[in-house]
Amino acid sequence: MPVETTDTLVIGAGQAGVAMSEHLTREGVPHLVLEKSRIAERWRSGRWDSLVANGPAWHDRFPGMEFDGDGEAFPGKDTVADYFERYAAKHGAPIRCGVEVTKVRRLDGRVGFRVETSEGVIEARNVVSATGPFQTPVIPPVVPQEAPVLQLHSAQYRNPDQLPEGAVLVVGAGSSGAQIADELNRAGRKVYLSVGPHGRPPRSYRGRDYCWWLGVLGLWDIPAPTPGTEHVTIAVSGAQGGRTVDFRQLAAEGITLVGRTEGYADGRLSFGEDLLRNIRQGDADYLSMLEQADAYAARNGLDLPEEPEAWRMLPDPDCVTEPLRRLDLAEAGVGTILWATGYALDYGWLELNVLDDRGRPVQERGVSPERGFYFLGLPWLSRRGSSFIWGVWHDARYIADQIVIQRSYSSYDDQARRRQPAKAAE
Ligand SMILES: Cc1cc2nc3c(=O)[nH]c(=O)nc-3n(C[C@H](O)[C@H](O)[C@H](O)COP(=O)(O)OP(=O)(O)OC[C@H]3O[C@@H](n4cnc5c(N)ncnc54)[C@H](O)[C@@H]3O)c2cc1C
């Protein structure tokens, strides 16, 4: 059977794959996008029911198309998925759904890659991995599986009714953990929230959303920090029309805050003594943004309404001043531990020397050491915004540029080869 060929093969049709396709089309690069399920599948089925975008519609989008409706609103997850489907259609993206890539390796003695898929082999000169920043849910090995409590990852959480009766311990207070804890508490559950180190920008300040502030302050663009230090959990939420994540407020509404979940023995969990420190660090992050925003407004003469109340903190609740260090699950009636503890990468299909000894991609702005192989959509690929909707679009443009540059060398090579036999015949 003849092997199918393409210039550039993109793996994954989430927002990263859709953005990549747009730029390749614009540059006239023949390409194909393979998606093992549906366009923007993770927005469709990999998130809880009530999830809305963390940024307002005017911000969390690609430059080429707006969301329908109010730009200040926070679109629901299905609206976001629909947006990417419509975007792909608008650009005629050549996406083949239901096709999984199972292996990628170099072609022997030739330029390019052999890509094995669930529907046969494709050869491509370039391959872009757009398989997602958040692939495999990670549950730290703290509580044994046989413990008498349901353990779920936030990727498996859908809504409060899905959980067995009883209290819930939510571990992790980034955007997912903070939002899910809030939702469960509003649904009448007793909730314990285990709070680790985090940043928590104000939802808005002086009439501008934090996405705007991060943009004008250049904070979306801060370059990738040194490896190993890049992961900072950020607690933001577009739920309830968008509110600042304020752990003291959550405590005032009934949630019991605890420190990091550290150990388990005989039905009892133990928590670290870091709660107050984590809350204070989150405050410092919050206050530093207010300071930077004020300084920016003053320097640039912006006429934005002052907001002195944003500087006021609620008093520390009892659960913070005298934190629980132990919790007997049965006594507290905890039926579920919900781990909002992040994701790992999975490149089981990749047979190229482009991962380090911890399995992390080796790349600079998405360009790997293997000529023609690129990564897109990873956290901090080039900057803070890289794994987010607006950021991935700009990274995709850079990668398209690199592909075009390399195509010019290949095309020179092709032309030179064509000239050679003619010369030989002279
Ligand atoms: C809970 C949550 C909320 C978020 N909210 C926001 C937000 O509000 N705003 C924002 O900007 N960002 C948000 N993000 C971050 C980011 O935008 C999303 O994670 C987004 O899904 C990343 O898009 P992506 O295209 O890079 O990866 P993904 O959406 O993960 O897409 C990768 C695609 O690759 C496919 N795939 C994987 N392996 C293969 C294979 N071997 N063969 C074929 N196909 C394959 C998958 O099926 C998937 O469709 C959120 C993340 C999470 C976890």
Q: Which numbered atom of ligand 1 lies nearest the CA of 99?
A: 43
- The DSSP code for 22 is H
pLDDT digits (tens, 9 = 90+) for 213-222: 999 999 999 8
Rounded-to-integer distance, Cα 382 and Cα 373, Å:
16
Helix (H, G, I), strand (E, B) or coil at 15: helix
pLDDT digits (tens, 9 = 90+) for 338-393: 999 999 999 999 999 999 999 999 999 999 999 999 999 999 999 999 999 999 99
Domain ranges of the chain: 4-135+345-420, 138-339
Q: In CATH, what number does 4-135+345-420 get? A: 3.50.50.60
Q: How confident is the model at residue 414 (pLDDT cuts 50, 70, 90)?
A: confident
Could you tell me if the CB of 35 is within 6 A of ligand 1?
A: yes
Asked if 116 contacts 124 with a C-beta cutoff of 8 angstroms, the reply is: no
pLDDT digits (tens, 9 = 90+) for 187-199: 999 999 999 999 9
DSSP for 77-108, please give it.
HHHHHHHHHHHHHHTT--EEET--EEEEEEPT
Q: Cβ contacts of residue 381 below 8 Å, gap of 6+?
A: 224, 363, 365, 366, 375, 387, 395
Ligand 1 centroid to Cα of residue 120, in Å, is 25
Instruction: Tell me what pLDDT residue 223 has.
Output: 85
Query: Domain 138-339 falls in which CATH fold?
Result: FAD/NAD(P)-binding domain (3.50.50)
Could you tell me if the CB of 349 is within 6 A of ligand 1?
A: yes
Per the prediction, the chain carries an average pLDDT of 95
- Run of H or E including 190: none
Q: Are strands 268-271 and 261-265 parallel, antiparallel or unpaired?
A: antiparallel
Asked if 195 contacts 261 with a C-beta cutoff of 8 angstroms, the reply is: no
Instruction: Tell me what pLDDT residue 229 has.
Output: 53
Rounded-to-integer distance, Cα 337 and Cα 176, Å:
14
Per-residue pLDDT for 228 more than 70? no
Least Cα distance to 14 among 36, 397, 385 occurs for: 36
Q: How confident is the model at residue 423 (pLDDT cuts 50, 70, 90)?
A: low
Could you tell me if the CB of 53 is within 6 A of ligand 1?
A: yes
Could you tell me if the CB of 19 is within 6 A of ligand 1?
A: no
Asked if 316 contacts 283 with a C-beta cutoff of 8 angstroms, the reply is: no
| Four-point Cα dihedral 356, 361, 366, 370, nearest 10 | 60
